[in-house]
Amino acid sequence: MIHSLFLINCSGDIFLKKHWKRVVSQSVCDYFFEAQEKAADVENVPPVISTPHHYLISIYRDKLFFVSVIQTEVPPLFVIEFLHRVADTFQDYFGECSEAAIKDNVVIVYELLEEMLDNGFPLATESNILKELIKPPTILRSVVNSITGSSNVGDTLPTGQLSNIPWRHAGVKYTNNEAYFVLVEEIDAIIDKSGSTVFAEIQGVIDACIKLSGMPDLSLSFMNPRLLDDVSFHPCIRFKRWESERVLSFIPPDGNFRLISYRVSSQKYVDTSTKICHHIISVLNRNLLSLFHSDSLMF
């Protein structure tokens, strides 16, 4: 599926490339650079670019372009999701997905890409599996590896590799069992001069930090789940139960992850309870407009 991957910075320099099936000349990126020049902004580069012999599918993350080279037609969203998984993995391993971090850990980067794709097809993309295969870099491990000549590659097969729950490895133990959920919502609203809501839409995510021993089975319910549209789930969610009962039932990964993202459309009942007050102040023959905003979302 994916023949090659090129990492390009904002200056147009290709600072890393990886080939899985056969070597693809980096001149294929010229088509990407042409589209980049035509785009009004770096974030407006078309995610799918057709060339005479290949398709270029790319994402823009943390001031870097991840450009994949595809020879046959594939679902673009499938490739885009994989590229985001690659960027998320770099973020998880190195603390940031930047050109400097990737160059400083280039050996681990190539090891990760080799494990994540098998002959161009996604194989292992879950963070807990990859961390058992390839240990995250630490100062102590780097010193030990330089002295002993060992590598970051694990000697045993990950416990979750052959499990039907690949996102969580076995044998997780904590002295204190904790689970945190953070709800973050952004509101886009148009309010008329009388304070009435003309249009309102909400974009929300639920992030989780799970530190539970064993194989916990959790359920999360909402007061009015019918409000949620365009819900995107983490693979751990049991989709059939959500469809039938509108309850989030799942065995969570260990650590930090995004449980769901969603949208509440303007067609649903959304009371933003937003108030905007204005006050005009005259100072030295100039009028200054001061706005005061307060809201308390209720839905």
In a domain, 280, yes or no: no
Q: What is the pLDDT of residues 216-269, one digit of tens each?
A: 999 999 998 988 989 999 999 999 999 999 999 999 998 889 999 999 887 665
Q: Would 56 be classed as within a structural domain?
A: yes
Q: Give mean pLDDT, residues 282-293.
A: 63
Statement to judge: residues 109 and 200 lie in one domain: no
Total tally of structural domains belonging to the chain: 2
Q: Is residue 93 part of a domain?
A: yes
Is 293 part of any domain? no
Contact 170, 159 (CB under 8 A): yes
The model's pLDDT over 51-69, given as tens digits with 9 standing for 90+, comes to: 999 999 999 999 999 999 9
Backbone phi, psi, residue 44, to 5°? -100, 10
Backbone angles phi, psi at 69, to 5 degrees: -110, 120
CATH code: domain of residue 43 = 3.30.450.60
Handedness of CA 257, 115, 3, 25 (dihedral sign): positive
Q: Residue 231's domain is classified under what CATH number?
A: 2.60.40.1170
Both 17 and 115 in one domain: the answer is yes
Strands 274-283 and 255-264: unpaired
- Asked, for residue 147, whether it belongs to a domain, the answer is no
Asked if residue 116 and residue 16 are part of one domain, the reply reads: yes
> Considering 94, 125, 156, which residue would you say is the last residue of a domain?
125
Query: 133 lies in a domain?
Result: no
Last residue of a domain, one of 63, 92, 125: 125
Q: Which domain holds residue 249?
A: 178-264
Summarised one tens digit per residue, pLDDT across range 92-122 is 899 999 999 999 999 999 999 999 998 888 8
Pair (11, 116) in one structural domain = yes
Candidates 206, 255, 260, 250; CA nearest to 91 is 255
Q: How far is C-alpha 134 from the chain's CA centre? A: 20
> Which one, of 263, 234, 231, 262, lies nearest residue 250 by Cα?
234
Average pLDDT estimate for 191-202:
78
Cα dist. 186→23, 200, 262, 263 in Å?
44, 10, 11, 10
User: Does a structural domain hold residue 136?
Assistant: no
Residue type, 50: S
Interatomic CA distance for residues 131 and 92, integer angstroms:
10
Q: Quick one: pLDDT band at residue 163, thresholds 50, 70, 90? A: low
Helices (H) and strands (E) in the chain, counts: 7, 15
Of 86, 105, 125, the one marking the end of a domain is 125
